[in-house]
Amino acid sequence: MAASPLAPAWLNYPNDANELNPALWAQGVSRLESGELALDGVGVRELAARYGTPVFVMSETDFRSRARAFRDAFNEAFAAEGGADVYYAGKAFLSLAVASWMSEEGLRIDTCSGGELLVALRAGVDPAHIGLHGNNKSDAELNRALEVNLGRIVVDSIDELEHLAALAGARGTVANVLLRLKPGVHAHTHEYIATAHEDQKFGLSMLAEDQDVSEAMRAVDIALGSDAINLWGVHAHIGSQIFDPEGFEMAAVRLIDFLADIAHRHRVQLPELDLGGGYGIAYTPEDTPRKVAEIAQAIAAVVRQRCAEAQLEVPRISIEPGRAIAGPSTFTLYTAGVRKDVEVDVAGGTATRRYLSVDGGMSDNPRPVLYDADYSAVLASRASGAEPILTRVAGKHCESGDIVVRSAYLPADAGRGDLIAVPGTGAYCWALSSNYNYLGRPPVVALKDGASRLIVRGENEDDLLRRDVGANEMGSE
Ligand SMILES: Cc1ncc(COP(=O)(O)O)c(C=O)c1O
């Protein structure tokens, strides 16, 4: 068999479909001599037998080492300024275990809801090391942040700023605040679009337009004039899956210029500058992320230069990576079921597309449906000498768009009962999972030094019925 005309340009026909591309897999993933996929030497058959499928299989070692890589790269790049702060963006994946790993590794935690804040606090993370985001935080969320004296509340609008000041004033406390700005830079992988204004819900506009000052500067005026607000600095988050440092550099320059405007207008230099998250990872061989240290050095050089030009001290830099820490640490293990070949029209004839359906889908990974995200897949329960055939790994949901992996070359004999592994599912998969079609959300299993343990258990039938009032009434009959 040869390459399929249905394959995307980036997907090469493999010499050996059993081979693992190390760029896509967590450290510690390998094939055992038998050909079975393993993490830390623990075979996937054993994991599937013990925890069932689908299951998220996470390398704690990989997760922690990526967190350390960010911590070390940014601390080294900003060593002359006394280091930098890395906030792990919990929206990518948060559990009590992960929050405590991040604290142990010297990272802080970025949350964006009361629920994420709850997990971080329950895990014992120092509130001074937690940030709270959100464009529409509830009073309960803001009051909780004030109650525990959170290190930073990232304020998204003038409306929220005034409301927060009122809530803090009523409690007799002071809110620690960063202002989220729209720097007019949007970065997505290799494309950078620098626009004057962005039509989006997040952040304060930096444009002066018809008014004397921008919305962002009006927010600064209000914050600095309020006894209930401690304004620490400014923040921007420019996008996701970013591979090159240019977008971060452009945003940094604009925010530093804004800090210079504040210094000029108010005679104060705000001490903090947060450049958000968005660092990209490899989902397919097409994705080629740069080394974190390279990005950190490039950002540090630009920040230093612009601060010198603007005659500012270099502010304390912070960043909020999520995907780049959690994503590569995990693969999802599914069991294959139905196999079906479909004839598809192509120029000059037809081609076969194989559909291999697995026991999960958009309820454990909605990213392909939401963002057209691409993933990779391998036959995991065994190696196979069968020729590779272009395969679409489909989920089991009642949606034709329910695709887990759009295109992968899997051995032609992969089928019912085989285990299929999809790498790069540590971020925004479990976190976005749902009970669609009443599937239970899968467990998350963490491995370290050859030992596996559940860090989030999967949902069972009782869980599926627990919130249904009718079921509870019937149960009590
Ligand atoms: C404000 C903010 N910070 C950090 C992140 C984390 O981004 P990533 O996981 O791409 O690093 C996000 C993601 O949406 C975000 O909105």
Each residue's pLDDT tens digit in the chain (477 positions)? 689 999 999 999 999 999 999 999 999 999 999 999 999 999 999 999 999 999 999 999 999 999 999 999 999 999 999 999 999 999 999 999 999 999 999 999 999 999 999 999 999 999 999 999 999 999 999 999 999 999 999 999 999 999 999 999 999 999 999 999 999 887 776 566 555 456 788 999 998 866 689 999 999 999 999 999 999 999 999 999 999 899 999 999 999 999 999 999 999 999 999 999 999 999 999 999 999 999 999 999 999 999 999 999 999 999 999 999 999 999 999 999 999 999 999 998 999 999 999 999 999 999 999 989 999 999 999 999 999 999 999 999 999 999 999 999 999 999 999 999 999 999 999 999 999 999 999 999 999 999 999 999 999 999 999 999 988 777 554
The alpha carbon of 406 and the centre of ligand 1 are apart by a number of angstroms equal to: 25
Cβ–Cβ < 8 Å for 354, 339: yes
In the β-sheet with 239-242, what is the strand arrangement from edge to edge?
191-194, 185-189, 239-242
Q: CA 322, CA 428: separation in Å to the nearest integer?
A: 9
Q: CA 131, CA 148: separation in Å to the nearest integer?
A: 12
Closest C-alpha to ligand 1, atom 5 = 277
Cβ–Cβ < 8 Å for 380, 414: no
Report in angstroms the alpha-carbon separations of 260 from 110, 250, 253, 254, 307.
26, 15, 11, 10, 8
Query: pLDDT value at position 184?
Result: 87
Helix %, strand %, coil % for the chain, to 5?
30, 25, 40
Q: CA 235, CA 316: separation in Å to the nearest integer?
A: 12
The pair of structure tokens assigned to 13 is 């026909």
Q: Which residues are catalytically annotated?
A: 398
Closest C-alpha to ligand 1, atom 16 = 237
Residue (of 345, 333, 355) closest to 447 by Cα position: 333
Q: How many residues does the chain have?
A: 477
Closest C-alpha to ligand 1, atom 12 = 277
Alpha helix stretches (DSSP H) within 203-291: 215-224, 246-266
Q: Is 289 in the pocket of ligand 1 (CB under 6 A)?
A: no
The alpha carbon of 320 and the centre of ligand 1 are apart by a number of angstroms equal to: 6
Residue holding tokens 């019912």?
416
Q: Is 92 in the pocket of ligand 1 (CB under 6 A)?
A: yes
> pTM, whole model, 2 decimals?
0.96
- 3-class SS of residue 317: strand
237, 281, 283, 367: which to mutate for ligand 1, most atoms within 8 A of CB? Answer: 237
Closest C-alpha to ligand 1, atom 4 = 277
Residue (of 27, 37, 47) closest to 452 by Cα position: 47
Residue 213 class from Cβ within 10 Å (0-12 exposed, 13-18 middle, 19+ buried)? middle
> Which atom of ligand 1 is found nearest the CA of 327?
9
The alpha carbon of 256 and the centre of ligand 1 are apart by a number of angstroms equal to: 20
Query: pLDDT value at position 324?
Result: 98
Q: Is 89 in the pocket of ligand 1 (CB under 6 A)?
A: yes
> Which atom of ligand 1 is found nearest the CA of 242?
10
Query: pLDDT value at position 460?
Result: 96
The alpha carbon of 386 and the centre of ligand 1 are apart by a number of angstroms equal to: 41
Q: Is 388 left (phi over 0), alpha (psi -120 to 50) or beta?
A: beta
> Which atom of ligand 1 is found nearest the CA of 427?
9
Q: CA 264, CA 320: separation in Å to the nearest integer?
A: 28
HSE on the CB side for 197, CA within 13 Å? Answer: 8
Query: pLDDT value at position 477?
Result: 44
Cβ–Cβ < 8 Å for 85, 318: yes
In terms of DSSP bridges, do strands 55-59 and 444-448 run parallel, antiparallel, or are they unpaired? parallel
The alpha carbon of 92 and the centre of ligand 1 are apart by a number of angstroms equal to: 8
Q: Is 129 in the pocket of ligand 1 (CB under 6 A)?
A: no
Q: Is 459 left (phi over 0), alpha (psi -120 to 50) or beta?
A: beta
The alpha carbon of 333 and the centre of ligand 1 are apart by a number of angstroms equal to: 26
